[in-house]
Structure 1
Amino acid sequence: MATQPPALTRTLTLGPVVLFGLAYMTPLIVLGIFGIVAEATAGAAPSAYLLALVAMLFTAYSYGRMARTYPVAGSAYTYVRQAIGSRIGFLVGWAVLLDYFFLPMVIWLIGGAYLSAQFPGVPFAVWIIGFIALTTLLNVLGIRVAKTANNLLMTFQLLVLAFFVLLSLAHVAGASGAGGLVSATPFVNDATTWAGVAAGAAIAAYSFLGFDAVTTLTEETTDPRRTIPRAILLIALIGGGIFVLVAYTTQLVHPGAVFADSSSAAFDIATLIGGNLFGAVFLAGLVVAQFASGLSAQASVARLLFAMGRDSVLPKKLFAYVHPRFHTPAFGIAASGVVGLGALAMSVSTSTSFINFGAFTAFTFVNLSVIARYLRSRGERPPVLGHVVVPAIGAAIDIWLLTSLDGTAITLGMVWLGLGVAYLAVLTRGFRVPPPEMQFAEEEPASA
C-alpha cells in the first residue's frame, strides 16, 4: 500500500487565527510611527488611522472573498493571477515583493531611530548595522522564536499599550479634568486638511501590513472558506480599533504636531506620562518588538525569495541555495540584510511610504480581482453589492491613498515596477510566453 505523504493538520479555529494575525501586525508599531503620522496630519493622527481602517475594511472584505474562492497560500499574487491574468499577477507579486523585501529595513530603521534618540552619543549606523548583523546571524543559524515566546511577546506588547493608554488618560484627566478625555481636537483641528489626513493615512497603513498574512494558514485551519475571511475582517477591525484608540489618547496628551524628533516622539510622550521608569519600559518594549518583528520579517522574505528561486522566477542557483549545514536559505537572508543597509540613507516617513506603495498596489488589484471574477462569472451572477460596489470603493480608496504617498516613495515605487516589467519581458521572451508560476508550498527549505 502506498504511503500517504505527510499533510498539515487542520486544528486552528477562528480565535487562534485572529491572534496570529494581530501578533503579525505588531500592535506596538502604532506608537513607533505616531510622530510621523501626527506630523503629516498636522495633529490629527487618529483621523489618519480611521481613514486607513476604512480602507482596510473594504480591502479585507475583498481578501475574504478571494480567500473563500482560492483557499491556498499566495495571497494577492494568487488571487490576481487566477482572476485577471498571469502577467498582471506576476507584477502584483513583484509589488508585494517590495513590501517583503524592504519591510525588515523599515523595522530596523524605526528601532534605530528610538535607540538613537535615547543614546545620542552612539552613531545611528551602529544600531542599524547591529540589528542587521544579529538578525541575519540568527536567521542563518535557523533559530526560531518559539510559540510560547511569541505569546509572551504579544502579551508584553499589549500590556505596554494598555499602560500607555491608561497613563495618557490619567495625565490628561489630571491636567484638564475628566472633561478633557472627550475631545474632537485629536481628529479635527484648525490645521486639518483632507490632503493631510490622506497623506497620514498612507503612512498609517504601514501599521496594518500583515492583516492578510493569515491566508498562509489556510491548510491548517478548520473550515478555511469560512474561518479565513472572518479572521481577515476581524484582524483589520480589532487592529484598527487599537490603532485609533492609542493614536487618540496619545494625541490628547500631545496636541498638534511639533516634536523634537518626530521619528521617536512616542518615547518623549511615554516619559512625560510615566516618568523615566515607564519611558525605559516603553523603549525596551518597542525595541524588543521591533527586533522580533525584524527577525520574522527577514525570515519571511528569505522564504519568499527561496520560493521564487525554486520556481525559476528568480535565478535558481542563487535564491534556491540552501546552506548545507544550517539548512536555511542563506543567500536570501543575506540579500535582505544588504538591502537593510538602505536604512542608513532613508527617513522613517519615506521608507514606510515606499513599502506602502507595494501594499496599496496589491490591495487595489485584489479588489479588482473580485470585480473581474464577477464579470467572468457564467450563469447566475452573485450580488452586485458585494462583488462590484464594495470592491470598487475599496480600489478607489486604495488608489487615492497610493497617490497620497510621499513623492520620493512614488518615484521609487514606479522605478521598482518598471524593473518588474523589464524583468517580466525577459522571463516571457518579450511577453510571448506565460511567466513562471510560483508554488507556495509549506515545506521547509531544507526539504527542497
Structure 2
Amino acid sequence: MKADSEFKKVLTLFPVVLFGLAYMVPLTVFSTYGIVAQITKGLLPAAYVVTLLAMLFTAFSYGRMVRAFPYAGSAYTYTQKSLGSYAGFFAGWVLLLDYLFLPMINYLLIGIYLNAEFSAVPVWVWILLAVTLVTFINIRGIKLVANVNFLLILFQVLFVVMFIILSIKALVSDGSVQSLFSITPFFSEDSSLSLVFSGAAILCLSFLGFDAVTTVSEETIDAKKTIPRAIFLVTMIGGGLFILVAYLGQLIYPDYNAFIDPDSAGLEIAAFLGGNVFKSLFLAAYIIGCIASATSSHASVSRLLFAMGRDSVLPKKVFGYISLKYHTPVLSTLIVGIAALAALIFDLETVSSFISFGALSAFSLVHLSVIAHFYIRGRKRSLSETIVYLITPLIGLTLCVWLWTSLSSSSFILGISWIVIGTLYLAYLTKMFKDKPPELTFDADEDIKVSS
C-alpha cells in the first residue's frame, strides 16, 4: 500500500516551549542534585551557571541553523547540509545516544521511585506500563503530546512554586531577609573551577529540551521564527529555574555530605523542608515529570529516525513511514518503544554516560555547522557577521569541548564504542565508503511528502 502523507503544521510558540520544558523536566534539578553537589563540594548553583552559559551559546547556534533548515532532524540535518553527508551521518548517530537513552532514564527513575513506594510491584512492571502509555500517546499525534505536556508541566510548576515559597519562608523565619543572599553556593575555597566544570558536564543533561524543539519544526507554524524563539525561551526559563532551585536548596540544606543517599537527595530535602506530606508531593511531581520528559523525548527520537529514514540512511519503508490516520511516524514510534525496554537491563550510570557523550558531541557539530554554512560557504564576513557566525559559535564550541573533556573515562569508552559501531554500519551502507550516504533534497516552499 502506497500513499502520500505529510506532517500537519499545528504548533505555535506556547506549545513548542512547553514541549521543550517538558523534555527538560523542571524537577530534573533533583535528579543529579546530591551527586553534583558532592562533586562540586557544594557549588551546584555555580555549576548550573557554567552549563547555562554554554547552552546559551549552543542555543544561539541552533537558532541560526533552524532558520536555514526548518526541518525535522535537528543536529543531523544541520550537519548534513553544512558539513556533508558523512558528517551528517555521525551527527545523527551520536544524537541517537541522547534521544534513545533519555527516555530510558525516565523509565528507570519511574520504576525505581515507584518500587520504593510500592515495593510489592516489581520495577519492571512500572517500566513496562510507562513505556506502553508513552508510546500510545505519541502514536496518537503531536497535538495530544502537547496537551498532555501542558497538564504535566502545570503540576511540576506548582510544586516548584511551593518549594520556592517554603524555602524562602524557612530562610526568613527570623524576620531578616539577609539570609536569602549568599555567595557561598557560587564560591568556596574548598572547591575549584575544574570540579565545577566536572559537575557542569553532568548537568548538560538538564538542558536537552531546547535541542528537542527543533525536531518538531515541520509541525510548527512559521517555524523559522517560532523555533528560534522557543529555543531561547526554553534555555533561559529552564536554566533560570534550575539555578534558583539549586541556590535555595543549597541555602536550606548546606551540608552536601549529610545526604543518606545522594541519588535521592531530592526526597531528603523535601522531607527536611515540609515533612512527609511535602515529600509525597515531591514524589508525585517527580514521577509526573519523568512521564512528561519521556513523552517529549519519545516524540523527538521518532522524528529523528523518520528524518534519517526519509533519506534512506535507515530503511525508508520502515523509518520513513507516516500514518495517514494520525500523521505521525508510527513505525519509528513503536521501534523507540521497543528500544526503551532496554531500561530493564541498563543502569542509570550507563545511560547517563551515553547521553552526556552524545549531547556534547552533537552540540559541537552544530557550532561547526554555523561556521561552515554562514561564514565559509555563505561568505558572511563583515565585522558584525564575523562576531555572529564565527566568534560566537567558536566560543560555544570551546565551552562544549571543555565540558566534553570533563566527562568520566567510562563516558568516552561507551561513546567511542558507539561511534565504532556507527562506522561499521556506514561502511556497509556506502559499500566500504565508495558511495556517499544518501541526502534528502529540501524544498523550503513546499511541504515535504513521504511515500509510505
TM-score (norm 1): 0.86
Rounded Cα–Cα distance in structure 2 between residues aligned with 1:397 and 1:84: 21
Q: Which amino acid aligns with 2:386?
A: V
What per-residue deviation string (whole Å, max 9, x for no partner) do you get for residues 394-418 of structure 1? 0011111112123212211111111
Is the 8 Å Cα contact of residues 185 and 247 (structure 2) preserved in structure 1?
yes
Name structure 2 gaps, 5 residues minimum.
none
- 1:41 and 1:339, CA in 2 relative to 1: closer, same or farther beyond 3 A? farther
Equivalent of 1:396 in 386, 395, 398:
398
Equivalent residue for 2:376? Answer: 375
Q: Which amino acid aligns with 2:32?
A: I
Does residue 292 of structure 2 align to residue 292 of structure 1?
yes
Q: Which amino acid aligns with 1:302?
A: S
Is the 8 Å Cα contact of residues 53 and 236 (structure 1) preserved in structure 2?
yes
State the Cα distance separating 1:218 from its structure 2 match: 3.9
Q: Which amino acid aligns with 1:399?
A: V
SS at match of 2:173: helix
The CA RMSD over aligned residues, in Å, is: 3.5
Q: Which amino acid aligns with 1:387?
A: Y
Equivalent residue for 1:165? Answer: 164
Equivalent residue for 1:252? Answer: 251
State the Cα distance separating 1:361 from its structure 2 match: 0.7
Rounded Cα–Cα distance in structure 2 between residues aligned with 1:393 and 1:306: 32
Aligned pairs for 1:14-413 (under 5 A) are 14-119=13-118, 123-136=122-135, 145=144, 147-174=146-173, 178-219=177-218, 224-258=223-257, 259-316=259-316, 319=319, 332-333=332-333, 335-373=335-373, 374-378=375-379, 381=382, 383-413=385-415
Q: Which amino acid aligns with 2:298?
A: Q
- 1:116 and 1:193, CA in 2 relative to 1: closer, same or farther beyond 3 A? farther
Is the 8 Å Cα contact of residues 6 and 449 (structure 2) preserved in structure 1?
no
SS at match of 2:209: coil
State the Cα distance separating 1:166 from its structure 2 match: 1.4
- 1:345 and 1:42, CA in 2 relative to 1: closer, same or farther beyond 3 A? farther
Rounded Cα–Cα distance in structure 2 between residues aligned with 1:380 and 1:327: 42
State the Cα distance separating 1:224 from its structure 2 match: 4.1
What per-residue deviation string (whole Å, max 9, x for no partner) do you get for residues 106-141 of structure 1? 111222333344445655444434433554566568
- 1:139 and 1:377, CA in 2 relative to 1: closer, same or farther beyond 3 A? closer
Rounded Cα–Cα distance in structure 2 between residues aligned with 1:10 and 1:328: 12
SS at match of 2:210: coil
- 1:413 and 1:176, CA in 2 relative to 1: closer, same or farther beyond 3 A? farther
Q: Which amino acid aligns with 2:229?
A: R
- 1:285 and 1:328, CA in 2 relative to 1: closer, same or farther beyond 3 A? same
Rounded Cα–Cα distance in structure 2 between residues aligned with 1:445 and 1:379: 32
The total of aligned residue pairs comes to: 444
Moved more, 435-444 or 422-431: 435-444
Is the 8 Å Cα contact of residues 9 and 220 (structure 1) preserved in structure 2?
yes
SS at match of 2:199: helix
Equivalent residue for 1:431? Answer: 433
Name structure 1 gaps, 5 residues minimum.
none
State the Cα distance separating 1:256 from its structure 2 match: 3.7
- 1:176 and 1:195, CA in 2 relative to 1: closer, same or farther beyond 3 A? farther
State the Cα distance separating 1:69 from its structure 2 match: 2.3
Rounded Cα–Cα distance in structure 1 between residues aligned with 2:136 and 2:450: 18
State the Cα distance separating 1:149 from its structure 2 match: 3.6
Rounded Cα–Cα distance in structure 2 between residues aligned with 1:379 and 1:25: 34
What per-residue deviation string (whole Å, max 9, x for no partner) do you get for residues 189-230 of structure 1? 343222221121111111111203333454565654444323
Is the 8 Å Cα contact of residues 215 and 304 (structure 2) preserved in structure 1?
no
What per-residue deviation string (whole Å, max 9, x for no partner) do you get for residues 240-293 of structure 1? 111111111112222243322222211221122112112111111111221232
Q: Which amino acid aligns with 2:378?
A: S
State the Cα distance separating 1:36 from its structure 2 match: 2.8
Moved more, 10-19 or 233-242: 10-19
Rounded Cα–Cα distance in structure 2 between residues aligned with 1:115 and 1:16: 29
Rounded Cα–Cα distance in structure 2 between residues aligned with 1:252 and 1:41: 15
- 1:335 and 1:20, CA in 2 relative to 1: closer, same or farther beyond 3 A? closer
Moved more, 9-18 or 40-49: 9-18
State the Cα distance separating 1:175 from its structure 2 match: 7.6
Is the 8 Å Cα contact of residues 114 and 267 (structure 1) preserved in structure 2?
no
Is the 8 Å Cα contact of residues 351 and 409 (structure 1) preserved in structure 2?
no
Is the 8 Å Cα contact of residues 322 and 446 (structure 1) preserved in structure 2?
yes
Moved more, 34-43 or 219-228: 219-228
Is the 8 Å Cα contact of residues 327 and 446 (structure 1) preserved in structure 2?
no
What per-residue deviation string (whole Å, max 9, x for no partner) do you get for residues 71-99 of structure 1? 33322111111111110011001111111
- 1:62 and 1:34, CA in 2 relative to 1: closer, same or farther beyond 3 A? same
Equivalent of 1:414 in 410, 413, 416:
416
Is the 8 Å Cα contact of residues 23 and 294 (structure 2) preserved in structure 1?
no
Rounded Cα–Cα distance in structure 2 between residues aligned with 1:220 and 1:306: 13
SS at match of 1:437: coil
SS at match of 2:65: helix
Is the 8 Å Cα contact of residues 17 and 233 (structure 2) preserved in structure 1?
yes
Q: Which amino acid aligns with 2:419?
A: L
Is the 8 Å Cα contact of residues 11 and 221 (structure 2) preserved in structure 1?
yes
Rounded Cα–Cα distance in structure 1 between residues aligned with 2:67 and 2:301: 25
Rounded Cα–Cα distance in structure 2 between residues aligned with 1:77 and 1:62: 14
Rounded Cα–Cα distance in structure 1 between residues aligned with 2:5 and 2:338: 36
